Structure 1
Amino acid sequence: MSEQPEGLPTRPLEGKVAVVTGGGRGIGAAVAVLLARAGARLALVGRTEETLARTARELPAESAVVVADLSLPEAPAQVLEAVLARFGRVDVLVNNAAAENFTASHELTPAEADQLWGLNARTPLLLGGLAAAHMAARGGGSIVNISSDVGSVRSIPNQSLYAATKGAVDGATRSLAAEWGERGVRVNAVRPAVTDTDMSAAVFADPDLERALTAQYALGRMGRPEDIAEAVLFFASPASSFVTGQILSVDGGWIAVQR
């Protein structure tokens, strides 16, 4: 094994506190594990306590579980209050929690739109703003939003609502970066394509569909949660100390190469 290059810490988040929404499984769980290995203490946020607790037990660092329905308007303030009560600080926020919707646009109901908009767009914006104010008062921090290539860059039928929410995440990322940059808070986003998680289980359960999609990736495979987690760690750590307002597609070349 090669030696660690001088100047690159093995635990770049030592002493930091990170909050990961949707941290019980999939991308959120992979992010939590990697941030914990980098030295951070973790607050895992989501609706299902059992799932969050299972991930928390796997972390090599102090962790807390915060149960919250992030589609509700009051959730962002409640989550931040709970994390500060436990840890007293927040240095990194990863807005990962999200859901999809495959309803045709002419059949969407206001209730469907409001619920998905609340979870996918409103909560990252409000929680991001609250966390940014707290981080600014402490001298800085990092917010990483999980967006999506689907909708933000490439379009798929019957995903107009999901695409609208992720487009909003991209816009909020840039605006929050502009608003809080002078006070030391960096805001960036990671855009996966189809990733092997519970959310995309139907894709991976259909061999023909999986082969057809895989053929569109320059690297010859679809993403894994760990691929996304590595990019999140970069944005969360001092390695990206001069990077803000950026939206990085981590997609194996899905949007760059048309096949």
Structure 2
Amino acid sequence: MDLDLNGKAALVTGGNRGIGLAVAKALGREGARVALLGRDRHSLAESAAGVGPGTVVVRADTTQDVEVRAAVDRAVFELGRLDIVVNCAAPRATPGQVPGLAGLDDDDFLRQMDTKALGYVRVVRAAAPHLEAAGRGAVVNVSGMNARLTGSITGSVRNLAVVAITKNLADELGPFGISVTCVHPGLTITERVADDTAYAEQAASNALGRPVTAEQVADVITFLASPRGAVANGSVITVDGGRPGVIWT
């Protein structure tokens, strides 16, 4: 299927690792020109080499609006335009926390919200004029299945916030030809956990009976970022292999 991405310009936040890096590579294979945004310039440069020639690197901390605006403008300057934004930049979930109220760390809660929720908004706010100038485009926000699970207040709220942000942006930017969608990965095999047997076994506890890889999540995101995926505007897509016994409405 031709996704009509050849020559399109994409900005991927958190593009130096995990799902973000897999998305950048998938977009590159479809002919898109890609800019990676992250905080660590060294790891960004290493990752860019794996995405392909012409990949742009822009540094920003997404909790800092001035840095975000400068990085987005730089990416547009280097790429010549902007058609796609994929938001993946978020702190890793803190393992081993006591669930419920007893485990709620106020500082961590605020950090997670500032980076994953408000950080996504900052990026889209800076990118929106460029997307509108292109005439049509796409934003894909990577959230997570904790939006549909209890046990971690921080994990649930930060991911639910992304859902609410996505729908607000879909309603606002849709009339400009910009689709905005949200993706919920579950436990996903990335380079960080590629050799973790216990994690892979846990990740395989879905209806398919096998773990989902970052590359498979990236395939879904790439479709949603393409003109063919625009009709999904405002949608939330789960990419966890199917959690048994639960009906989503």
TM-score, normalized by length of structure 2? Answer: 0.88
How do residues 1-259 of structure 1 correspond to structure 2 at under 5 angstroms?
8-9=1-2, 12-99=4-91, 100-102=93-95, 103-104=97-98, 105-150=101-146, 152-155=147-150, 157=151, 159-197=152-190, 201=193, 205=196, 207=198, 210-214=200-204, 216-254=205-243
Distance 1:86 1:255, change over 3 A: farther
How many residues are paired up?
Answer: 243
Misfit runs of 4+, over 6 Å: none
Tell me how large the CA RMSD over aligned residues is.
Answer: 2.3
Q: Name the CA distance, whole Å, in 2 between partners of 1:54 and 1:213.
A: 28
How far off is 1:25 after superposition?
1.2
2:154 counterpart letter in structure 1: L
TM-score, normalized by length of structure 1? Answer: 0.85
Distance 1:212 1:86, change over 3 A: closer
Calculate percent identity across the aligned residue pairs. Answer: 32
Q: Name the CA distance, whole Å, in 2 between partners of 1:35 and 1:256.
A: 34
Q: Which deviations, in whole Å up to 9, do the C-alpha atoms of 1:13-40 show, x marking residues without a partner?
A: 1111100011111111110001001111
- SS for the counterpart of 2:85 is strand
How far off is 1:135 after superposition?
1.1
Indicate conservation of the 8 Å contact 1:153/1:255, yes or no: no
How far off is 1:92 after superposition?
0.3
- SS for the counterpart of 2:212 is coil
- SS for the counterpart of 2:189 is coil
- SS for the counterpart of 1:191 is strand
Indicate conservation of the 8 Å contact 1:217/1:257, yes or no: no
Indicate conservation of the 8 Å contact 2:149/2:156, yes or no: no
Which consecutive unaligned segments of at least 5 residues does structure 2 have?
none
